[in-house]
Amino acid sequence: MHDTTSPQRARRRGGARGRELAPLALTGLRALLGDERRDPQLQGRDRLIEHLHVIQDAQGHLAMAELRALASYMNLPMAAIFETATFYAHFDVVHEDQSPPPAVTVRVCDSLPCRLAGAEALHERLASGADPAAVRVLRAPCMGRCDSAPVAEVGHHHVRYATAEGVEAVVDTGHVHPETILWQRLDDYRAVGGYRLLAACRAGEVGFAALCEAFEHAGLRGLGGAGFPIFRKWQAVRAEPGPRFAVINADEGEPGTFKDRHYLEHAPHRFLEGALVGAWAVEAEALYIYLRDEYPGLHRVLTEAIVELEAEGLVPPGYIVLRRGAGAYICGEESALIESLEGKPGKPRHRPPFVAQRGLFGRPTLVNNVETVYWVPRIWEQGADWFAAQGRHGRQGLRSFSVSGRVARPGVHLAPAGITLAELLEEYCGGMAEGHRPAGYLPGGASGGILPASKADIPLDFDTLQEHGCFIGSAAIIVLSDQDDLRTVATNLLAFFADESCGQCTPCRVGTEKMLALLERDEWDVEQLERLARVMGDASICGLGQAAPNPVTSLLRDFRGELEARHLIAKG
Amino acid sequence: MSDSSSNDSFTLTLDGAEVSARPGETLWQVARRAGETIPHLCFKDAPGYRSDGNCRACMVEIEGERVLAASCIREAAPGMVVKSAGSERAREAREGVMELLLADQPEREASPDRSSHLWAIADRLAIDAGAVRRRLPSRAEREAPTVRHVAARSAALPHADGHDATHSAMNVNLDACIECGLCVRACREVQGNDVIGLAHRGAAAKIVFDFDDPMGESTCVACGECVQACPTGALMPATLIDEAGRGDSAVADRTVDSICPYCGVGCQLTYHVKDEQILFVEGRNGPSNQGRLCVKGRFGFDYPNHPARLTRPLIRREGVPKGMDPGFDPANP
Ligand SMILES: Cc1cc2nc3c(=O)[nH]c(=O)nc-3n(C[C@H](O)[C@H](O)[C@H](O)COP(=O)(O)O)c2cc1C
Ligand code: SF4
Ligand code: SF4
Ligand code: SF4
Ligand code: FES
Ligand code: FES
């Protein structure tokens, strides 16, 4: 007799708690991801986002049963999986009480350049015309194609100069794959001298000291936004004890920026050579490339280019690791990018320690922007003197300006550092777009503040805009005209930051939302806005929250008259 | 970064006075030894709690740095010149952060813990939450979602809108949550239970159990560490919360330091008692538990007032009444 020792109720209470693993769910997952029992690397935490992509691509969303199975597959707590899956905009986590999204997703870019080009009306027309059971129409941040605004994305296919009819036609034909890119293959690049610098470095013909000296002389600075001299970063990382890593920041998310896409599409191997030289310079164990998910066509290009390199024996298999972002601007910030590479939500880390000291997997890490390393072989080829001799108004080097907005010829314009907006407009952009008169411009994307047209003659470069309360950042120039409404500009930018805030720190998580609400009011409370701007600028953890109030402080500084005329602030 | 090979203390300047610090000490700890407790929310001065530096209530000004630094996470360095109480910028930042948080808090009288750490800091900084609400827009003022990729969940769920009473011992009210992540560290790092996560991003950031499941259906083992860590009352012992969701952690009329009566580990704890009833239990920093408890020590405290409890010794002697509760049924205890 043993019937009374363990009552049914008590036994159940002692059993496993929480969501149960559905039978067969693991089997299904292994069919998609591979068998983690044979290849334990598949269980690495840093694979989490890649796995989520595979499931999302296969199923169109992330269902609870799959996520629960993934927790077992990766031996991770459910909470950890959920934190990462819900952080990124390109993952659709679907609960039992929700319905999965329809088969087709249309994303309409609504960052500032596209907004100026009519994205709002486009979104409205598409949303009202679509059958919600078959198509969903979402708003999305800058897709890095602002020179052909407005832009929409059907599945993974980007539609430039988008019209409602054009997008609907793409939806009807079911063309959801990335557009084809014609690129310079390995053979072609080698035929014009490609990979000679890398070979020379590896053969000992070019030493580390000589490399640093050359790039110090050339004056090549980080082009991701901060402008840190590349040779100093190499030296700092190399001085730390190994193992070390090299990471390429191809997350290009600053609204108005599309230069990295430009170089990746035109010269992927020159970029890869520069990246590999950097990895060589810091003796990196591996080279990671973090590519934003908005560039699916480039994902194919880079995958193939890496295959070419491996096949030719130029890199050991697996040395270059290509990773996909998942729709989060903040992952362009280097420490958030590293968190994301590790499979976590992209929340920036505190400094110190700097990523050069403790970065990827806790190891010293070199993080460089795409364009920065693109210049390494090119400058070596053409000579440090040549690069150093470029520049205007006392500045040195070349800058790739991504110009968008109300200009006749938007696009990536390679121009001397220190050029003024007036010169850039006249010499490179064919002047203003027809019927538009300049009213102001954003010198550094959404983050760099706004300058009035009266300041069209100041040199554009690192260090030259601080005194005007702005910065050049990634050199994304968005030109505004007399037809643009300043409240729309301000709310558009703040809505972007509030949507993209990682949510870690109070001044940014709450501050961006409150600032947006203050800007949406009929009348602006200048005192509150200015105080909030100081708190965000002083107390946010990273550059996103610190720079988010820039457009507002700029407007309150240099556009008082316009704001008064618009009745946003009281005359005074 | 401090050189770990040296354990020698060094000096720095805090608000004009020279103070000493040891390698690895944070500015918050240095200030504390110098007699100043810098306002703090996401930092808990208890064993096992890592600083996370996210709330930004503890900002200080460091000479030569462009922005302010969070004192709870920034390590002191030799020669640093730090301004805390004497910094106008730091004062504005601390107050500004508190205002941002208070703008969306429930009214104090309606909040799940009117005596929470958060309200204590608000008092200390003399912030009038009502005035803040008149100045700053509330979260509800915006109609469009601030973070766009979050799909709404059904209002019929037992934990809809962050109000979750599905757990018998703990009550969740995320209206009061400030996303400080102390509960995440409590559950993940201090107790190793890994139930709580901080999901989504930006203004949509949200405390979740497992896959945003009701707490009572999650893998929670009811250690209560998260409740003890929460500075706002968003997580509260269920015994302190009334039907309207209001509560007060200072309602006890006395506290009794004791040792958990269950197992041999000897976890130290404090009983909060009102009208001779135990209201709730807090872990105390003893050598075997360092402030932590398990479900039994934390929530197994209804037996002292159970009618079946023996309050006098039973003596095996003829003719002496055994004093057993007459209503007690051994077959169905
Ligand atoms: C909010 C934020 C977003 C950023 N986004 C990018 C980006 O999209 N691409 C990039 O290369 N750098 C970006 N950065 C700068 C990086 O943190 C980092 O400085 C850069 O990748 C370093 O490379 P570089 O020295 O070659 O410029 C961003 C910084 C911040 C604060
Ligand atoms: S400033 Fe914004 S993006 Fe940066 S850590 Fe804070 S919340 Fe995250
Ligand atoms: S009670 Fe313990 S196990 Fe449950 S959620 Fe809180 S910390 Fe985690
Ligand atoms: S529930 Fe409490 S401890 Fe957890 S994040 Fe919110 S306020 Fe902090
Ligand atoms: S592509 Fe739309 S703003 Fe850049
Ligand atoms: S207490 Fe220092 S940032 Fe929260």
What is the per-residue pLDDT across A83-140, written as a single tens digit (0 to 9) for each? Answer: 999 999 999 999 999 999 999 999 999 999 999 999 999 999 999 999 999 999 999 9
pLDDT at B74: 98
**What percentage of chain B exceeds 90 in pLDDT?**
88
Where does the pLDDT of residue B311 fall: very low under 50, low under 70, confident under 90, or very high at 90 and above? Answer: confident
pLDDT at B322: 64
pLDDT at A5 over 50: no
HEC string of A133-166 equals CCEEEEEECCCCCHHHCCCEEECCEEECCCCHHH
Amino acid sitting at position A124 = E
- Vertex B44, ends A348 and B208: CA angle to 5°? 60
Where does the pLDDT of residue B323 fall: very low under 50, low under 70, confident under 90, or very high at 90 and above? Answer: low
Q: Which residues contact A252 (CB under 8 A, 6 or more apart)?
A: A144, A258, A259, A260, A261, A292, A295, A332, A370, A474
Cα distance from B85 to chain A (closest Cα, Å)? Answer: 16
Any idea of the CA torsion for B33, B38, B42, B46, to the nearest 10 degrees? 20
β-partners of residue A401 are A413
Helix, strand, coil tally for chain A in percent (to 5): 45, 15, 40
Please compute the mean of the pLDDT values over residues A370-387 and round it to a whole number: 98
Any idea of the CA torsion for B203, B204, B209, B214, to the nearest 10 degrees? 120
A174: tokens are 């079911």
pLDDT at A137: 98
Measured from the CB, is residue A142 less than 6 Å from ligand 5?
yes
Packed helices A78-87 and A48-59: angle between N→C axes, nearest 10 degrees: 70
pLDDT at A400: 98
pLDDT at B264 over 60: yes
pLDDT at A311 over 70: yes
Q: Verify whether the Cβ–Cβ distance A517 to B150 is below 8 Å.
A: no
pLDDT at A307: 98
Measured from the CB, is residue A511 less than 6 Å from ligand 2?
no
Distance of alpha carbon B3 from alpha carbon B304, whole angstroms:
53
Average pLDDT of chain A is 96
pLDDT at A359: 98
Packed helices A268-281 and A296-311: angle between N→C axes, nearest 10 degrees: 60
Cα distance from B267 to chain A (closest Cα, Å)? Answer: 23
pLDDT at B313 over 90: no
Q: Closest residue of A to B96, CA-based? A: A535
Identify all chain A residues contacting B76, using CB atoms and an 8 Å cutoff: none
Of A82, A139, A531, the CB nearest to B208: A82
Is residue A226 less than 8 Å (CB to CB) from chain B?
Answer: no
Closest-approaching ligand to the CA atom of A448: 1
Distance of alpha carbon A148 from alpha carbon A411, whole angstroms:
8
pLDDT at B332: 75
Predicted ipTM of the assembly: 0.95
Please compute the mean of the pLDDT values over residues A437-460 and round it to a whole number: 98
What is the per-residue pLDDT across A203-247, written as a single tens digit (0 to 9) for each? Answer: 999 999 999 999 999 999 999 999 999 999 999 999 999 999 999
pLDDT at B6 over 90: no
Give the number of residues written for chain B.
333
- Cis ω on the peptide bond leading into residue B313 (within 30° of 0)? no
pLDDT at B3: 47
Is residue B77 less than 8 Å (CB to CB) from chain A?
Answer: no
pLDDT at A125: 98
Size of interface A-B (CB pairs under 8 A): 194
Please compute the mean of the pLDDT values over residues A142-157 and round it to a whole number: 98
pLDDT at B329 over 90: no
pLDDT at B316: 78
Beta strand pairing call for A438-446 and A476-481:
antiparallel
The DSSP H or E segment spanning A86 is: helix A78-87
Please compute the mean of the pLDDT values over residues A241-267 and round it to a whole number: 98
For residue A479, how far is its CA from the centre of ligand 1 (angstroms)? 22
Coil, strand or helix: which one is A386? helix
For residue A153, how far is its CA from the centre of ligand 5 (angstroms)? 11
Average pLDDT of chain B is 94
pLDDT at B310: 80
Any idea of the CA torsion for A231, A233, A238, A240, to the nearest 10 degrees? 150
Distance of alpha carbon B46 from alpha carbon B23, whole angstroms:
19
In terms of C-beta density within 10 A (0-12 exposed, 13-18 middle, 19 or more buried), how is residue B145 classed?
Answer: middle
* Alpha-carbon distances of A547 from A449, A456, A531, A538, rounded to whole Å: 8, 22, 14, 10
Q: Which residues contact B75 (CB under 8 A, 6 or more apart)?
A: A352, B1, B2, B23, B24, B25, B26, B27
Measured from the CB, is residue A151 less than 6 Å from ligand 5?
yes
Distance of alpha carbon A448 from alpha carbon A225, whole angstroms:
10
pLDDT at B327 over 80: no
pLDDT at A4: 33
Please compute the mean of the pLDDT values over residues A46-50 and round it to a whole number: 98
**What percentage of chain A exceeds 90 in pLDDT?**
97
What is the per-residue pLDDT across B189-216, written as a single tens digit (0 to 9) for each? Answer: 999 999 999 999 999 999 999 999 999 9
Is residue B212 less than 8 Å (CB to CB) from chain A?
Answer: yes
pLDDT at A13: 53
pLDDT at A267: 97
- Identify the CA nearest to A494 among candidates A468, A474, A520: A520
What is the per-residue pLDDT across B98-147, written as a single tens digit (0 to 9) for each? Answer: 999 999 999 999 999 999 999 999 999 999 999 999 999 999 999 899 99
Where does the pLDDT of residue A9 fall: very low under 50, low under 70, confident under 90, or very high at 90 and above? Answer: very low
- CB–CB of B246/B111 below 8 Å? yes
